[in-house]
Amino acid sequence: MSDSTETDATTVETPGIGDRFPELEVQTSHGDLSLPDEYEGEWLVLFSHPGDFTPVCTSEFVAFEQRRDEFEDLGAKLLGLSVDRVHSHIKWTEWIRENLDVDIGFPIVADDQGSVAQRLGMLHPGAGTATVRSVFVVDPEGIVRLVLTYPMEIGRNIDEILRSLRALQKSDDDGVAAPADWPDNETFGDKVLLSPPSTESEARAREDELDPDRDEYYDWWFVTSDR
């Protein structure tokens, strides 16, 4: 009898925050793509949906398309995914265009074998092969920076995905952290947070080293900033 802690050879570990996005060859409604190489130098927002021709998914795809320009202004591309065939994706986007007057301009991965969803941990454990509403935000170097998972019955908030993308870019550019509800925090507005010191000497010197015109000192570990 094998040890119960032994990992099965077929087990696939799904990517988490900080992992490199796995190399995948996918078929989409816009043709074949190589991930993440196709989006090298750009941010990628990959999101899965349970199925074509379903109400919540349809509302989400319309919402993503209506905000696509905002994602692209941030250097990000959208990519959908479900376990439907490519013909289903094409027919579904035709239906959306004809009935809701919205032309879906981003590709949709046709993962009818479920291999991509399985690799990314997108399969719903209680609903056969249906994919949950997962979101992967991948940076221009192909590193997973954010993972969100919603249940099948709740549509995603596009504002939150855009906010998270802006916050990640702000953090990368300025070496800061974003507080809750940034940039509309009830107490601190659009101010960001400086990383706390890592040594006792740095903590003692913290207040003297700050820019009084930009930084507000509450304690050595809590400083807000207009940076």
Q: Which residues are catalytic?
A: 57
SS3 per-residue string spanning the chain: CCCCCCCCCCCCCCCCCCCECCCEEEEECCEEEEECHHHCCCEEEEEECCCCCCHHHHHHHHHHHHCHHHHHHCCEEEEEEECCCHHHHHHHHHHHHHHHCCCCCCCEEECCCCHHHHHCCCECCCCCCCECEEEEEECCCCEEEEEEEECCCCCCCHHHHHHHHHHHHHHHHHCCECCCCCCCECCCECCEECCCCCCHHHHHHHHHHCCCCCEEEEECCEEEECC
How many other β-carbons are positioned within 10 Å of the β-carbon of residue 123? 19
